[in-house]
Amino acid sequence: MIEIIPAIDIIDGKCVRLEQGNYEAKKIYNEQPVEVAKQFEDAGLKRLHLVDLDGAKAKHVVNMKVLSDIASQTNLVIDFGGGIKSDEDIQKVFDNGAKMATIGSVAITNPCNLDTWVDKYGRDKIILGADVRDYKIAISGWMTTTDIDLFDFLIEKMQTGIRKVLCTDISRDGMLNGPAISLYKSILQLLAEVHIIASGGISSINDIEELEKTGVQSVVIGKAIYENRITLDQLHKYL
C-alpha cells in the first residue's frame, strides 16, 4: 500500500502553495498551519511533509515555531525540510519535534554534512531531496538549477547510505497536471532498493493509483487536497 503524505508549505508562518517553485505565484490557503495539520490527523493521516519555504530561500531555518507547534499539538510523524544547512539547524529540527529531515541543497553544496548526518542520526531519519528540472538537480528553493544529472546524483548518494529519496519534478509542482510517472519508473529500474517519495503534479486519486503501480512507496500530496481535487475521505482506503 502506497504511503500518503500530505504537505504543508510555509511562508511567513502561513500555509501556502507555489507553482513550479515560483515564490511570486503564491496562494495562501490557511493562516493557521496547526489547524491544517489537525485536519489531516483527524482524517486518519499519520505523516506530514512540512516545508519551510522561507528557510529554503534564506538558507537557514526560519519557521521553527510552526514545526514546534504542529509537533506539540498533533501526533503526526513529521519530516521537515527547507533551510537545513548546519549541524545546529538539523539538531534544532529534531529537538523541535521532527522525526525526519529532508536534505536537498546541502547534498550538493556541502556533501560532507549529509554524510555526517546519515551516520549520526541513521538513514531512516534522513530523506534526500532530489528536485529536478529536465533531469538536472535544482537547489536553493529551486532558484538555481545545476548541471548535475539526477541519476548520477542518486547513485552517488546511495553509496553513502541514503535510501529515502523525495523526488519532485519541478515543472509539475503545483500544476495539477499529473505526476512524472516515467521519471519514477526510470529511477526504480536503475535503483530498485531506493524508497521513492513522489512529489509534484498529483491531481486525482487516479494519479495515486498509477504511482502505486510503478512501485513508488510514498507520495506527497499538496495542492490537490487544498483545491479539493482529492478529498480526505478519498484517502481512507490508503490508511
**At 98, phi and psi to the nearest 5?**
-70, 145
Fold adopted by 3-238: TIM Barrel (3.20.20)
Q: Quote the CA–CA distance of 230 and 223 in Å, as a whole number.
A: 9
Confidence band of 120 (pLDDT split at 50, 70, 90): very high
Alpha carbon of 178 to those of 4, 62, 199, 210: distances in Å?
Answer: 16, 31, 10, 10
Alpha helices (H) in 29-176, listed in sequence order: 33-42, 53-58, 64-73, 87-95, 106-109, 111-121, 150-158
**pLDDT for 140 beyond 90:** no
Residue 147 annotated to the active site:
no
CB 8 within 8 A of CB 37: yes
Catalytic residue among 9, 69, 79, 207: 9
In total, the chain counts a number of residues equal to 239
Instruction: Specify the residue for cell string 537547489.
Output: 139
Residue 89 annotated to the active site:
no
The domain limits of the chain are 3-238
Q: Quote the CA–CA distance of 83 and 71 in Å, as a whole number.
A: 18
Catalytic residue among 131, 169, 173, 207: 131
Confidence band of 9 (pLDDT split at 50, 70, 90): very high
Q: Among 24-28, 32-36, 120-124, where is mean pLDDT lowest?
A: 24-28
**pLDDT for 16 beyond 90:** yes
Q: Check residue 174 and give its pLDDT.
A: 85
